[in-house]
Amino acid sequence: MEPGNLSYAQLLAAMPAVKRAKILNSLNDEQAYYLQHDWHILARPSQRIPLGNWFCWLLRSGRGFGKTRTGSETVIEWAAQGYTPIALVGADEGRRKGYYCRDRGQL
């Protein structure tokens, strides 16, 4: 993995044990929870939404990159921000249903 493409969680894991333990021991329960579950902490820079005012964002990469997780986390963020409509593009309805949840039967 490229050194410049590490998530915040990976950077924390790569720290010397004493420094990492000091940081982890300073966290309250809520902070520790978010450290393990917040996409902004877990995502590598190449998995984060690019800066700028984008009309379309193409995420093209190989197996194991995390495209499905990146896509679902991005859609969750867009929906939370009130963006509508959000288009889900797939070869057929079966493939779209296989990767994403349905809302009000609008897939």
**73-95 per-position pLDDT tens digit:** 988 898 899 988 887 776 777 66
Supply the pTM of this predicted model: 0.73
- Greatest C-alpha distance within the chain: 51
Whether residues 34 and 58 share a domain: the answer is no
- Cα distances (angstroms) measured from residue 103 to each of 57, 72, 74, 81, 99: 23, 14, 16, 17, 13
Segment 6-17, tens digit of pLDDT: 999 999 999 999
Domain check: are 104 and 62 in the same one?
A: yes
Determine the structural domain holding residue 64 and report its residue range. 52-107
Same domain assignment for residues 59 and 106:
yes
Quote the CA–CA distance of 45 and 34 in Å, as a whole number.
18
User: pLDDT > 70: what percent of the chain?
Assistant: 83
